[in-house]
Amino acid sequence: MEAIVIVRLAFSSDNHFDVNRVDAAAMMQAQAAYLLQNGVQWYLIAGDLFNDFQRSQQFVVDLQALLGAQTQVRWIAGNHDMVHGISYDELETSHFDGYLHNQYVDIPATNWRIIGNNGWYDYQYGENVPDASAAAFLQWKNAFWIDRAIKQPMSDLERTDLMLNQVKGQLSLARAEGKQVVFMTHFVPRAGYLRFSTDNRFWNMANALMGTPRLGELLEEFQVAHVLFGHLHVHPQPLKVAKTTYYDQAVGYWLKRINEWRADKFMDEWYQDTKIIDLK
């Protein structure tokens, strides 16, 4: 009888080290100690480490050096990572250490595959906004949202279509090769996670930039086992839909005007928000 191989993964997102004004080097040391003590073999980060891709990438490289061979780190970029230090073409085509956008890695001695895609949004989550249109959402984004700093050679709808084609291609390949899939993205794949307001148009306009329900439909069609995402800092419990389990493991903000944490210190919040799962 073959021995059953158990692989331990940890999920995290939206650490926002710079926005939260914490000592990232000290947090890295504490995170590495926790991952090693808990026998984590793969640590997945679903974006938004810093408001600068190069700082985020360097964090991943330095964390990997601390962890050594026991724990492999993989990450994808969130919208905050994209606002400085990276171009659209580099996001799509460059191969950085640990960066998994539109790429995959197979877990040795198992039939598990980890697939990453940064993701994007197509305004469908804003459909409850009266008289809103793609033009209105774009105008609002360019006036109020951090993503206005992200340069791209296509519309948001075209970028979402490209992303979905990338994901479908990766999932089709995984199916053909008999792989079970852990999928990592930044943006929200299901509408049920969103919060809609009856009196706050700003919040409802922001929902349009949270993601696309078409991604969740695609993941469920391919019966993806585990889906990690972030972007929305609401700390929900894992949600299982058919054969797909979703995990939003965002740490979120602790600011004077926005306090989304359940703890008083960053690492205490990170401990709460980091999900460990064992794959068989």
In tens, the pLDDT along 8-24 reads 999 999 999 999 999 99
Residue 198's domain comprises: 7-279
CA of 239: how far to CAs of 189, 209, 243, 245, in Å?
12, 21, 10, 5
Give the range among 74-83, 164-173, 229-238, 250-259 with minimum mean pLDDT. Answer: 250-259
Given this model, what pLDDT does residue 3 score? 66
Strand segments (E) across 111-224: 112-116, 180-184
CATH number at residue 125: 3.60.21.10
**pLDDT class for 76, splitting at 50, 70, 90?**
very high
Q: Residues 39-47: what's their mean pLDDT?
A: 98
Domain contains 212: yes
Per-residue model confidence (pLDDT) at position 2: 58
Please check the confidence at residue 1 and state whether its pLDDT lies above 50. Answer: no
Span 208-251, pLDDT tens digits: 999 999 999 999 999 999 999 999 999 999 999 999 999 999 99
- Which one-letter amino acid corresponds to residue 279? L
Query: Is residue 2 a part of any domain in this protein?
Result: no
pLDDT at 86 over 90: yes
How many domains does the chain fold into? 1
What does the pLDDT average to over 139-159? 97
What does the pLDDT average to over 122-138? 91
Q: Is residue 264 part of a domain?
A: yes
In Å, what is the CA distance from 141 to each residue of 148, 161, 207, 246?
6, 19, 11, 27
**pLDDT tier for residue 27 given thresholds of 50, 70 and 90:** very high
Q: How far apart are CA 111 and CA 36, in angstroms?
A: 24
**Do the domain assignments include residue 1?**
no
pLDDT digits (tens, 9 = 90+) for 105-123: 999 999 999 999 999 999 9
Is residue 175 in some structural domain? Answer: yes
Q: Average pLDDT for residues 47-56, to the nearest whole number?
A: 98
